[in-house]
Amino acid sequence: MFRHIRLLSFDLDDTLWPTKPVIMAAEQELYQWLAREAPRIVRELSVMDMRERRVAFMEAHPGISHDLTLVRRRSLALLLEEYGYDPRRAEEGTAVFRAARNRVAPWEDVLPVLGRLKQDYLLVSVTNGNAQVEQTPLRDCFHLNLGAADVGAAKPHPALFQALRDWSGLPFAKMMHLGDDFQRDMLPARALGMAAAWVHRKGLARRESFRPDLCLFNLWPLLRYL
């Protein structure tokens, strides 16, 4: 039933690697950098306080909320300024965070399955997050890597998927999107006419309101279905 599929798009966070541990580690690294470079901040604020401030900043600036790196850099610059440090050093702090953000650990099925699929399909990563795929262990897995910051809008907005169509010249009917999130991955893919494959790593119960074209606990079954 998927013989017509030519392009597979993959969400990254919580589809190909667990996200929470890498974000926590990256925030911890940034905090240690601040402890050295801007100790007055660390004396007053915890990692959690900083997270709350960043979220508040993002909510106050919805126009850039799709660009998480910009949100991080600008909110860090404000914080540095508030505590009497040079706000331009936010550039460096953001780089520390990003380097750690890229140290993801893909699930064990990911590299072998993508390696096989790449021989027969166009593979694209589409993420709302700010991992830099070319700096991760998945650097050779995709023909194209796209993020919300590249297209100016985060999923469920269709911009990322429309960019896939423009890049490949394929109709949505020949594409399958794989992701962990119903709202951000499954619904927009289905609305555009793509096949929607739900990757639910934790084995969550299926929602009855919506039936994806495929439900997967990991990527191995793709080699059978495609």
Catalog residues that contact Mg ion under the rule CB under 5 A.
11, 13-14, 180-181
* Cα angle, residue 167 at apex, residues 161 and 168 outer, rounded to 5°: 90
* Cα angle, residue 180 at apex, residues 177 and 183 outer, rounded to 5°: 85
Q: What is the dihedral of CA 26, 184, 10, 196, to 10 degrees?
A: 160
Q: How far is the CB of 155 from Mg ion (least distance, A)?
A: 9
- CB nearer to Mg ion: pick between 93 and 180: 180
Q: How many other CB atoms are there within 10 angstroms of residue 143's CB atom? A: 13
- CB nearer to Mg ion: pick between 118 and 201: 201
Kindly state the tokens that stand for 166. 């423009």
> Is residue 212 within 8 Å of 204, Cβ to Cβ?
no
Can you tell me the distance from the alpha carbon of 91 to that of 96, in angstroms, rounded to the nearest whole number? 9
| Strand duo 195-199 + 175-179: pairing | parallel
Q: How far is the CB of 97 from Mg ion (least distance, A)?
A: 19
- CB nearer to Mg ion: pick between 13 and 213: 13
- CB nearer to Mg ion: pick between 13 and 67: 13
Q: How far is the CB of 35 from Mg ion (least distance, A)?
A: 31
> Is residue 191 within 8 Å of 173, Cβ to Cβ?
no
Q: How far is the CB of 3 from Mg ion (least distance, A)?
A: 27
Kindly state the tokens that stand for 134. 């070319």
> Residues, the chain, total?
226
| Strand order across the beta sheet in which 122-127 lies | 144-147, 122-127, 7-10, 175-179, 195-199, 214-216
Q: How far is the CB of 12 from Mg ion (least distance, A)?
A: 7
Beta bridge partners of 145: 125
- CB nearer to Mg ion: pick between 27 and 181: 181
- CB nearer to Mg ion: pick between 18 and 87: 18
Q: How far is the CB of 189 from Mg ion (least distance, A)?
A: 13
